[in-house]
Structure 1
Amino acid sequence: MPTEPATSNAPSRSKLPVISLFAGAGGLDLAVERVADAPLSAPSTPTDGPFRVAVATDYAPQALDTLALNLPETATLPGDIRNTPTSELLHAGSLSEGDAALVVGGPPCTPFSKSGFWLAEKRESRDPNASLLEEYVRVVAQSRPEAFVLENVQALTYKTHQGAFRQLLAALSELGYNPQWKTLLAADYGVPQLRKRVFIVGRRDGIAFKFPEPTHAGPSETTRTWDRSKLPHVTAAEAFAGLETSPEAGELVEGKYGELAAEIPDGQNYLWHTSRYGGRDEFKWRSRYWTFLLRLAPDKPSSTLQAQPGPYVGPFHWENRRNDAGELRARRLRVPELLRLMTFPDNFQLIGNRADIQRQLGNAVPMELGKAVLRALTLQLGYVDPETDSDDRLVRSTSSAVLIS
């Protein structure tokens, strides 16, 4: 599939260039460009930092249009990565092999092939069945960045994908990058969302990357005890503080389960309407997904935002609104609220309808989680001086627990 020409404005050449793969709407890209912003802040104008995203590519042109709207100096290259040579990426970013400081990206979770780019005999020709993880390895191998950051769903580390995961780590190790991996909970880094993602980070010099220590702690689906010396998880209500929103078309939960959804208390889901709880006895115990009719709890972080939710998949806001008939209905989260839960800047612009926006944000990396990993990498690569108060604050400050817009 041929790619379209790259588009860009003139970038700042004094900053270190970054290649972004599977960029989507730009969650990791924002983290790259805003790594110098103080933790848990999203000012309308980013703090001047060491990096610039030189080129970003993605299969979805609409998501890439969103990225370009917010990062106008980044060259964008829409198209299938399997049909995009590394040389084309380098050319679009005005780069040569070894120029890039970083390669970043989160390959979509796709079926993994049993053979691919990590096999030496495969590197001389393209395997049409290669997985997107293999494409990431290919770009790292051929662009030779100083370091890389790969983000993916936690399921990549599960036993089901153990073989592919080991092959991925082996391939990156063979390139000399000594990959280190860890599953991180976004809420532990100030994101008001209980989203788990695995990060793999490697350095060209082979020095092992050290993941940042969590700055926050609190309960989650799998945690009942936590370090109370850390800041508490940022709640949904704290994230929405000071945010003024307007009703959006189609935000009310109507239809077959509209009345039931409105009766569910905050923090509860369809289980409220089983024989074990105080609602109607409408559903069998554990017969649905957890997110079915799920309401946000204002005193807790949100559950993971879904990229393609059905009409009755939450989380929905804890407040009800009346429809035209005067009946109480649950409402969907509004776009400014989604941005806050993803720790994106309030002035971030999105292209598309409501479903498009949900998909773009649901597929993105929460900016603050990406910033935490990238700040640690920036410090360890020596791009900031830990002895300098202002730079050290950008890497390790945890003084604020609520987004500053």
Structure 2
Amino acid sequence: MGSIKVVELFAGVGGFRLGLEQTKNRIFDVNWANQWEPSRKVQHAFDCYNKRFDTGEHVNRDIAEISDEEMAATEADMIVGGFPCQDYSVARSLNGELGIQGKKGVLFWQIIRFVQNTFPKYLLLENVDRLLKSPSSQRGRDFAVMLSTLSELGYDVEWRVINAADYGNAQRRRRVFIFAYKQGLDYSNEMSKESLENIIYKKGMFAQAFPIEGEPNKKRIAQTKLSSDIVEVSDNFKFQFYNSGILRNGEVLTIDTIPKFEKPITLKDIIQENVDDNYSLNVDQIEKFRYLRGPKKIKRTTKEGHEYYFSEGGMSETDSLDLPARTMLTSEASVNRSTHFLNINNVYRTLTPIEAERLNGFPDNWTDTMPDRMRFFCMGNALVVPVITRIGNQIEQIEQQTRDSFSQLKLF
């Protein structure tokens, strides 16, 4: 089986690449990667990426500064990347060209620029699951703009919100994964013979890689058709996207699906022994954690003098070692409500950087090129590597089917 040349955008510390390089047939070749953290003098994530991977071109520049010519010169059978969830509204200028309203959302359009310069067979993108609902004032618009744009470029799209813990991993981390594939590929042609519902439940890439139950949750299923006018979508579209879906030729079907749960790894399974005292908590820190995790009803006053009550429900005193970890955030290094608070043999402590890496499926000390604070920050931004490997294995099967079909054609 030949290789799939991969371009990795917003590469971070290399979660996509690491996952793809661990597939069964090892056909993914990441030959160009871009990582740039704006307003940081030290590029910790890029330095880590550059140390861990020694092949391909690694580019530490603002992607907006990458020229069309440089993009076109890359080998891109597939583009992968996780990008910020921002504002994707668009407008039409006086000369008829599309543009972004305001300064947000630019990174998605850089992905689109890369697609326009390379037209890869596949795209695999990752984002927070609230993308499907944003913005709150026009629910579903941002995701619809993305789908409409990809459709206009000649791609069909499958998506799935995956909670890593539902499929055997150590962290309850929900992310939406978007798999776009060029119309006219063998896979696209095969999917064109299937109903949209059958793609979601049985035949699609996500259905094969992450099995689901055969009935929707609470009968939540919806269909719509996207306009080919992206500005029209941006201005007027409002729709409820569910956690699974398919876009084909402008037709959208979305279903609230139920995963076929697999036994997860628990927090207890990834805990280190003989942890440095630096991660132990003193009495004041323990009390602070207990307060932050407890229920609250606090009287507050706005600048205008209006009084109101801020309420917050309670959490368990410490994180259960018998469950997968909660979602790890970039603030994991600080004492706050979202930080994991552990009681190990009556010793109260936080996670270690190695434990944070294990929650995302990275090798121990993958990020030891940077200070602890940044190690937690990078892991809070990272994806769960085994999820990518599982997707990669399924794309390998799609490629194998394509090559088998091509070989049979040559026989005739």
The normalised TM-score by structure 2 is 0.67
Aligned counterpart in structure 1 of residue 49 of structure 2, from 67, 73, 82: 67
Q: Which amino acid aligns with 2:54?
A: P
Tell me the distance in 1 between the aligned counterparts of 2:65 and 2:317: 40
Deviations, residues 282-319 of structure 1 (Å, cap 9, x unaligned) = xxx9834878x863211110010111244223212232
Residue of structure 1 equivalent to 2:234: none
Tell me the distance in 1 between the aligned counterparts of 2:27 and 2:6: 10
Q: Which amino acid aligns with 2:49?
A: L
Residue of structure 2 equivalent to 1:201: 179
Aligned counterpart in structure 2 of residue 210 of structure 1, from 205, 211, 219: 205
Shift of residue 260, structure 1, vs aligned partner: 5.4
**Residues 1:76 and 2:77 are matched in the alignment:** no
Unpaired runs of 5+ residues, structure 1, are 1-13, 37-47, 275-284, 322-327, 387-405
The normalised TM-score by structure 1 is 0.69
Identity of aligned residues (%): 24
1:341-356 matched pairs, under 5 angstroms: 341-346=359-364, 348-356=366-374
Shift of residue 130, structure 1, vs aligned partner: 5.3
**Residues 1:319 and 2:314 are matched in the alignment:** no
Give the SS at the match of 1:199. strand
Tell me the distance in 2 between the aligned counterparts of 1:166 and 1:153: 15
Report if aligned partners of 1:103, 1:145 keep a CA contact under 8 Å in 2: yes
C-alpha spacing 1:51/1:383, structure 2 compared with 1 (3 Å): farther
Larger proportion of helix: 2
Shift of residue 197, structure 1, vs aligned partner: 0.4
Give the SS at the match of 1:381. helix
Q: Which amino acid aligns with 2:26?
A: G
1:217-256 matched pairs, under 5 angstroms: 231-240=262-271, 243-244=272-273, 246-247=275-276, 249=278, 251-254=279-282, 256=284
Shift of residue 231, structure 1, vs aligned partner: 3.3
Tell me the distance in 2 between the aligned counterparts of 1:75 and 1:372: 25
Larger proportion of strand: 2
**Residues 1:110 and 2:83 are matched in the alignment:** no
More relative contact order, 1 or 2 (CA 8 Å, 6+ apart): 1
Residue of structure 2 equivalent to 1:156: 131
Shift of residue 210, structure 1, vs aligned partner: 2.3
**Residues 1:136 and 2:111 are matched in the alignment:** yes
1:81-92 matched pairs, under 5 angstroms: 81-89=63-71, 91=73
**Residues 1:301 and 2:324 are matched in the alignment:** yes
**Residues 1:168 and 2:146 are matched in the alignment:** yes
Question: Would you identify which runs of 4 or more consecutive aligned residues in structure 1 move more than 6 Å?
Answer: 383-386
Shift of residue 205, structure 1, vs aligned partner: 3.5
Q: Which amino acid aligns with 2:262?
A: L
Shift of residue 354, structure 1, vs aligned partner: 1.0
1:21-40 matched pairs, under 5 angstroms: 21-36=9-24
Unpaired runs of 5+ residues, structure 2, are 38-42, 192-203, 219-257, 298-308, 405-412
Shift of residue 189, structure 1, vs aligned partner: 2.3
**Residues 1:271 and 2:294 are matched in the alignment:** yes
C-alpha spacing 1:232/1:114, structure 2 compared with 1 (3 Å): same
Report if aligned partners of 2:167, 2:263 keep a CA contact under 8 Å in 1: no
